[in-house]
Homo-oligomer: A and B are copies of this chain.
Amino acid sequence: MLRFLEVVSEHIKNLRNHIDLETVGEMIKLIDSARSIFVIGAGRSGYIAKAFAMRLMHLGYTVYVVGETVTPRITDQDVLVAISGSGETTSVVNISKKAKDIGSKLVAVTGKRDSSLAKMADVVMVVKGKMKQERDEILSQLAPLGTMFELTAMIFLDALVAEIMMQKHLTEKDLEARHAVLE
């Protein structure tokens, strides 16, 4: 358990040198210029997508989760943010393809720059779950399956929220004013 916390802490620290800030800027630009933002992810990446969508709503954006009840037809004025570590999850790839065919913009948040998802995307935000200097063997025992990607993606997306708050001079109070109370 303590070793896991050490590995994650170190990984996040290293992430600071691996995040491409120019791409971050392009991602924020696409989000800002869209009429609505749609998000998608499968399994645990789906929960990360939802956690991000909730914060986008708190920030004042119009945002929808693919597959939720009130999600309308996507248009060529909208952007889809698709989250997949492998970039090969069938449903995420198929739906991203549909969105591209309709003319929507696509942001891929993925661990693989050469994945099917990344190849279609207007902006490819690479979020490494495993970095070169980390030993795969140890990680798969401590952090099985997509664990490192999911944690890293969640932390990256919350960092993005911090960045947007700063750029737009939003405070915690602004977000709280939109936070659901029926829970």
Give A residues with C-beta under 8 Å from B: 1-6, 8-10, 12-13, 15-16, 19, 21, 24, 38, 40, 42-44, 47-48, 50-51, 53-55, 57-58, 63-74, 80, 89-91, 94-95, 98-99, 102, 140-145, 147, 150-151, 154-155, 158-163, 165-166, 171-172, 175-183
CA–CA, A159 to B53, complex, Å? 25
Enumerate chain B residues within 8 angstroms of A102, measured Cβ to Cβ.
Answer: 181
B90 touches A183 (CB 8 A): yes
A64 to chain B minimum Cβ distance, whole angstroms, is 6
Q: Are A70 and B43 CB-contacts (below 8 A) given A182-B38, A183-B89?
A: no
Q: Give the residue of B1, B53, B80, B159 whose beta carbon is less than 8 angstroms from that of A70.
A: B53
Q: Are A43 and B180 CB-contacts (below 8 A) given A54-B70, A68-B70, A90-B98?
A: yes
A178 touches B73 (CB 8 A): yes
B67 touches A54 (CB 8 A): no
A5 touches B15 (CB 8 A): yes
Q: Give the residue of B5, B15, B42, B176 whose beta carbon is less than 8 angstroms from that of A13.
A: B5
CA–CA, A70 to B64, complex, Å? 6
Q: Are A72 and B162 CB-contacts (below 8 A) given A44-B54, A150-B51?
A: no
Q: Are A144 and B159 CB-contacts (below 8 A) given A9-B9, A53-B70?
A: no
Q: Give the residue of B21, B70, B181 whose beta carbon is less than 8 angstroms from that of A73.
A: B181
Q: Are A144 and B160 CB-contacts (below 8 A) given A69-B53, A98-B181, A154-B154?
A: no
